[in-house]
Amino acid sequence: MERSNSIDRRTFVHGAAAGVAGLALGGLPSPLGAHAAADRDAVIAKIASGHAAALTMLRDWIAFPSIAAENRNYPQGAEYMARLARDAGFANARLVPTSGKPGVFGTLDVGARTWLGLYFMYDVKQFDPAEWSSPPLEGRLVKKEGVGTVIVGRGATNQKGPEVACLAALHAFRAANVKLPVNLVLVAEGEEEIGSPSFRQIVLTPEVQAALHRCVGVVIPLGNQGLDGRVQVNLGAKGVIELELVASGEKWGRGPARDVHSSLAAQVDSPAWHLVQALNTLVKPDGHTPAVEGFFDDVRPIGDAQRRILEDAIPRMSEAETKKALGVTRWIADEAWHDSLVRLVSQPTINIEGLVGGYTGPGGKTILPHRAVAKLDMRLVPDMTAAKTLERVKAHLAKHGFGDLEVNMTGGYDPTETPADSKLVHAMMATYRKNGVDPLLWPRLAGSWPGATFTAPPLNLPAGQFGLGHGAGAHAPDEYWLVESTNPNVVGMDGAAKSFVDFFYELA
């Protein structure tokens, strides 16, 4: 089984870092007092004895996919998430209704001084079983050379594997009869894979918002390790808009109202060409620079502090490894590696995810399609907003003669930013270092997650990704999560769970 060339949007640069010395999880050098250190060791021991139960939890969850785009397993997926939360100690976990798919909310209050928010998603991407080497809902254990034993299945790394690692840590605290060093607020959604259209409704529910206001920050569990063992701490993420552009004879008032014979292209307008011509106006002749009027007006240049972080990080990143992971041989305009990384952090983008129209089966079918669809995503940087950017795209299309196109935004949110000096970031960095990893501080993830709901008003909380462990193939066939590692640089599922134990103590 080979790793797909498709790179998880949340973890783009993980495979890019240079090699790191072997990782040691034992013997944590910690300022914990003797009693707390003994408690921690007792919890860690329970992670090992609970390994089989955690693996069963993950396999069972993989077998029960919630897919928002297909309306599959709703509200059952939310109820499943709530049960997992209750089993891990969130006794009051309950469903939060929205205009879309329900969320899940719960608190675990142990009387600690510090509160931490946990963001979970219970939905997964669609899949085609024909593209997989083992059934995507089976959760089969597979030996992967140079990695170890992995569990293969849709959602294995995005995000069920890392989330189960976090839940396994909570189960270990309960099994060891040790009180958590922090209080927790859990917020989960079931629409992340369609752009989180209802997530703000969940978070701004008065009870949820009040609980989150007590937190020092919010983390999403993630297997952050590349195969070299390195991890990345991101001080933000790009925002995103996901949308469809639809050209049709009915809306246009030209072209056919149904598919017709292609010979009629001599006298009948083509909605498919109309869509292609509209798409061509969205970028400059170089094929990548956005050409929408006003698109860059709100882009804030990289500040001095972020520039220093970027320049410190770039020398630690491997161009050769990144090219290998992505299956590319050159960057845009043949620019230098350094410049391509600056672009990755600082530039908004307009990308075509897919084009659908007419006949795409075997052989030919001589038709003139009455309808064509383009699926786009746009990545946003501060101080762009999803709402204003969408209006600019609509205005641009109308100005250029394409006001008839349907513009259907299916999801999206604004960029996130988290201060480097926040308690959350300090705790992440310290936990990684105590586990033998020198983390790479990075200004902004090129991918997106709905953390803006936490980092923007009214909450204004630090937020980011945390966790040791490794997985790959998110959104792609043969997605996997590492269960038992044979790679000395990378931890398996138990090591990922241990990282959460250490993080909780560090944050406290």
Amino acid at 82: A
Assess if residue 331 is contained within a domain.
Answer: no
Assess if residue 314 is contained within a domain.
Answer: no
pLDDT band at 16 (very low <50, low <70, confident <90, very high): very low
Assess if residue 315 is contained within a domain.
Answer: no
Residue 3, pLDDT above cutoff 50? no
Assess if residue 194 is contained within a domain.
Answer: yes
pLDDT band at 13 (very low <50, low <70, confident <90, very high): very low
Pair 413, 189: CB distance under 8 Å: no
Q: Could you give the number of structural domains in the chain?
A: 2
Residue 12, pLDDT above cutoff 50? no
363 and 427 assigned to the same domain: no
Whichever domain contains 378, its CATH number is 3.30.70.360
Assess if residue 390 is contained within a domain.
Answer: yes
Query: Where is average pLDDT lowest: 240-254, 314-328, 344-358, 420-434?
Result: 314-328
CA distance 163 to 91: 18
Residue 14: per-residue pLDDT: 37
pLDDT band at 325 (very low <50, low <70, confident <90, very high): confident
Residue 425: per-residue pLDDT: 98
408 and 423 assigned to the same domain: no
Give pLDDT tens digits for 331-385: 999 999 999 999 999 999 999 999 999 999 999 999 999 999 999 999 999 999 9
Alpha carbons within 13 A on the beta-carbon side of 241: 25
Final residue of a domain: which of 413, 439, 458?
413
Outline where DSSP puts E strands in 57-202: 94-96, 103-108, 115-121, 140-144, 148-152, 183-189
Assess if residue 34 is contained within a domain.
Answer: yes
Q: Region 404-430: what's the mean pLDDT?
A: 96
Residue 7, pLDDT above cutoff 90? no
**Which is it for strands 140-144 and 232-234: parallel, antiparallel or unpaired?**
unpaired
Query: Where is average pLDDT lowest: 1-5, 159-163, 277-281, 370-374?
Result: 1-5
138 and 262 assigned to the same domain: no
pTM equals 0.88
Residue 19: per-residue pLDDT: 33
Residue that wins the pLDDT comparison between 28 and 301:
301
Give pLDDT tens digits for 221-253: 999 999 999 999 999 999 999 999 999 999 999
273 and 289 assigned to the same domain: yes
Residue 108, sorted as left (phi over 0), alpha (psi -120 to 50) or beta, turns out to be beta
Final residue of a domain: which of 357, 389, 413?
413
b (16+ CB within 10 A) / e for 123-154: bbbebeeeebebebbebbebebeebbbbbbbb
Query: Where is average pLDDT lowest: 7-16, 244-253, 360-369, 398-407?
Result: 7-16
Q: Which helix (H) or strand (E) holds 342?
A: helix 337-346
Q: How far is CA 456 from CA 55, 98, 212, in A?
A: 36, 20, 13
Give pLDDT tens digits for 441-473: 999 999 999 999 999 999 999 999 999 999 999
231 and 369 assigned to the same domain: no
Residue 21: per-residue pLDDT: 32
Assess if residue 475 is contained within a domain.
Answer: yes
114 and 207 assigned to the same domain: yes
Give pLDDT tens digits for 259-300: 999 999 999 999 999 999 999 999 999 999 999 999 999 999
Residues 6+ positions from 501 with CB-CB distance below 8 Å: 40, 43, 44, 47, 169, 172, 173
Query: Mean pLDDT across the chain, nearest whole number?
Result: 93
180 and 283 assigned to the same domain: no
Closest by alpha carbon to 25, among 422, 442, 467?
A: 467
256 and 213 assigned to the same domain: no
Q: Which domain holds residue 227?
A: 12-235+418-507
29 and 126 assigned to the same domain: yes
CA distance 265 to 255: 9
Whichever domain contains 489, its CATH number is 3.40.630.10
405 and 503 assigned to the same domain: no
Largest CA distance in the chain: 85
162 and 84 assigned to the same domain: yes
Residue 32: per-residue pLDDT: 74
3-state secondary structure of 498: helix
Alpha helices in 402-449 (DSSP H): 423-434
b (16+ CB within 10 A) / e for 14-39: bbbbeebeebebeebeeebeeeeeeb
Q: Which helix (H) or strand (E) holds 338?
A: helix 337-346
151 and 106 assigned to the same domain: yes
Give pLDDT tens digits for 188-217: 999 999 999 999 999 999 999 999 999 999
Alpha helices in 406-492 (DSSP H): 423-434, 452-455
CA distance 231 to 503: 14
Q: Region 424-437: what's the mean pLDDT?
A: 97
Assess if residue 341 is contained within a domain.
Answer: no
Final residue of a domain: which of 413, 441, 456?
413
Give pLDDT tens digits for 30-47: 457 778 889 999 999 999
